[in-house]
Amino acid sequence: MTRLLLVEDAEDVRETLAFLLTREGYEVDKAVDGAAALKAFAKHTPDIVLLDLMIPKVSGIEVLQTIRLTSDVPIVILTAMVGESEVVVGLEAGADDYVTKPFSTPELLARLRSLLRRHHSTKPPESVLTVNGIVMDVERHRVSVDGVKVDMPLREFELLELLMRHAGRVLTRGQIITRVWGSDYFGDTKTLDVHVRRLRAKIEPAPDQPCRLITVRGLGYRLEEG
């Protein structure tokens, strides 16, 4: 049975979520504030964490940062603030995904399952990636889209590889720049926009109406899994 830590101070939301998750087969530990969340995490060592950002005593961000000091457990943040800076801070602090309130139960369950599958995989990093009609051979530096070979310079290749390895997950602009350009990069972030535009021209059927590489307003980008 998968153990889940649910951190939510609103009783109605907490109890509804706990009921739904228990019905889906999760063993749910509940915490009403940040201090209780850290105690519960240390005691129960959950397989996944569902964390509201706006909680008393110890903030959700502090809880997230504290957990990340010792664990890579999947963490999904709950927020009512679509596009707000708190979501960006949460993702950059180490959250794996976010869900906005009011949330879709099927979507939440699907995201939890997807994160758990990725986390429990013990396979080494794949050298051939396949996502949504895109095939990348990392070792041979080859990319094909819908069966057609596509030439790609190194930086675009690295950007696409990062997105493919995290398909379905929102990556913030800061995360992408740090991973592709390096943590010491101080250039204009428009560089990322240019590379995204060039990448879309090669992987999208209609670059001006992207269906693969999606902009998540106020946050960053997500490569759709298909």
* Percent share of the chain, pLDDT over 70: 92
Q: Tell me: pLDDT of 118 over 60.
A: yes
Reported as a single tens digit per residue, the pLDDT across 120-136 is: 764 566 789 999 999 99
CB count in 10 Å sphere of residue 11: 10
185 vs 217: which has the higher pLDDT: 217
Residue 174 pLDDT: 84
Q: State mean pLDDT over 23-48.
A: 94
Q: What is the pLDDT of residues 153-175, one digit of tens each?
A: 888 999 999 999 989 988 888 88
Indicate if the pLDDT at residue 147 is higher than 90.
yes
The closest alpha carbon to 89, from 123, 64, 116, belongs to 64
CB contact set of 85 (below 8 Å; sequence gap of 6+): none
**Arithmetic mean of pLDDT over the chain:** 88
pLDDT of residue 117: 82
* Rounded average pLDDT over 114-120: 80
Q: Give the tens place of pLDDT for each residue, 94-114.
A: 888 888 888 888 888 988 988
Instruction: Give the per-residue pLDDT at 121.
Output: 63
What is the rounded distance in angstroms from the CA atom of residue 156 to the CA atom of residue 53?
Answer: 34
Q: For residue 71, give the DSSP letter.
A: -
Whether residue 116 contacts residue 125, with contact meaning beta carbons closer than 8 Å, is answered with no
Nearest to 48 by CA among 117, 104, 125: 117
What residue ranges define each of the domains in the chain, with the CATH number in brackets? 3-120 (3.40.50.2300), 128-223 (1.10.10.10)
Q: Give the pLDDT confidence score for residue 185 in this predicted structure.
A: 67
Both structure tokens of 171 = 């990556």
